[in-house]
Copies of this chain bind each other. A is one copy, B any other.
Amino acid sequence: MNKPESPRTPLHDGVLERLRQMIIRCELQPGDRISEADLGRTFGVSRTPLREALKILSAEGLVDIRPHKGAIVADISMDEISETFALMSALELMAGPLVCERVSNIDLQMLDSLIQEMDACQLRNDLMTYFELNTEFHNRIIRLTGNSVLTQVYVDMFGKLQRARYRVNYDPQRWHESSTEHHWIMESLRARDGEELGVRLKEHNARTATAVVEGLKASSLANAQRD
């Protein structure tokens, strides 16, 4: 039915990735029940690999599994969003000095070109690609710490928040602000000022947090009125 693809990659890996994307992109919304049989049919696989994928997503916090009652897409509360942003602030504060110790000119070039692409996205109003590039930008910076444990945690957090970002109607003004902040961040990087970089990353993060939380409040308010 499907093309053979590569028989080397286990089936549940593909299922896992597809499910994760569906959840992050809000195609499956928080609270949605996940029927093993149904999803198995849509993916064309049996329940076994699907269950394995669900267990992993549960460990990642993207789904909740209630014994004998099935899996649902995990809800992410406003509190959890705020707490996650707060945690990321701490990680970025830690990252600043480490990154500046290790960042090379080639790294700077690479980040610059990412920013250029992001600016281009902004001009043609391509929010989706912007999100992906933005993720790439921030993850790369953290990866420059050379601390892979830190990076792993950061990337996970970013992924969890991505759902929230997709949900809010991004404010054009905030979008512009954000780009400016990116340029400031690059400045600190070029100056190799670790403390300053940490602070700027942290502040950028805090502003994004505010924007996302405000956006969510607004949209949930709109929903409440609609109901």
Q: Measuring CB to CB, which residues of chain A are less than 8 angstroms from any residue of chain B?
A: 8-10, 12-13, 48, 51-52, 55-56, 58-60, 67-68, 79-80, 83-84, 86-87, 89-91, 93-94, 147-150, 153, 157
Contact = CB atoms under 8 A, between A and B. Distances in A.
Contacts of A79: 148
Can you tell how many copies of this chain the complex includes? 2
A91 to B, nearest CB: 6
B52 A83 contact: no
A177 B134 CA distance: 45
Contacts of A91: 87, 90
Contact of A48 (B48, B58, B94): B48
A51 B147 CA distance: 30
Given A56-B56, A59-B60, A87 B149 contact: yes
B147 A87 contact: yes
A41 B201 CA distance: 51
Contacts of A149: 80, 83-84, 86-87, 157
Nearest to A149: B83
A10 B51 CA distance: 13
B10 A67 contact: yes
A153 B153 contact: yes
Closest 7 pairs between A and B when the two form their complex, measured CB to CB: A90-B94, A59-B59, A83-B149, A83-B147, A56-B59, A52-B55, A84-B149
B153 A87 contact: yes
A113 B59 CA distance: 33
